[in-house]
Structure 1
């Protein structure tokens, strides 16, 4: 019997690092960016038993008028067996190290694991009114991704793929509601 787990980004929190108004382009200020993607894969638990996962990831990012970045992440098992939501405000410490930065018309986020990392890149139009998304899972030393599952146990991910990346932008603070 295969065990279905929410492994991919299940309870990771992206930390924002020291973003300031000068880091975020003026057109990005007071905007909410919503990112979605699916992630699926397989691996092994600490005992060597096979595991598989198939999850939906939703990441909401608000860039304040001062350029501060606030994040809320929700990962849900496609089968509806588990769901976990985390949030992050500037200055809060997180379970996983990570960063979000602006590079011109792109917002790049990285979240590292015990071995490996995930990177998302949102590319915006000149007015920051629309965007596209790419997501990459990268293997660490030894060609494996190692990360904790929602149960706190370490898992070795043998294969992982992302699909259906979407990105949208709206004016204002989605968290204020």
Structure 2
């Protein structure tokens, strides 16, 4: 009986040592990003030698329209463009007038409340509202695409009014 206990203890000790040696290994090099994407890469909107912002790039767009000038916000269950949003979209239209070959995508977003289908539809209406305003001030419709992410890509995580307010938005992104 004592010999079985010693064997069991030895087996337990060996298995513990074996499991301890199976810890996570540090990954030095990540696999390459999928072809056609820029996931995990650094922004390339600057020239490599001077570090200057490339005219017509997303970085140039953000510098010109302001830090949060690429987005407009909406009230709960709404998709109307208010006066403050109009000013933001007007700045975007002025920038787009300077770069007539640059195309944009307007992304529509919603907060976490509501069903997936409802939020996708609401995000689409928000993106289209921003698109329609840009068209009304002279931006060619063929330069603007829309996409709805619904509640799938929140800006702020949290289940409170402050987080929800940040997630009810339409964001303009330049397309290269």
- State which structure, 1 or 2, has the greater radius of gyration over its C-alpha atoms: 2
Output the TM-score relative to the length of structure 2. 0.27
Output the TM-score relative to the length of structure 1. 0.27
Q: Which has the higher contact order (CA 8 A, sep 6+)?
A: 1
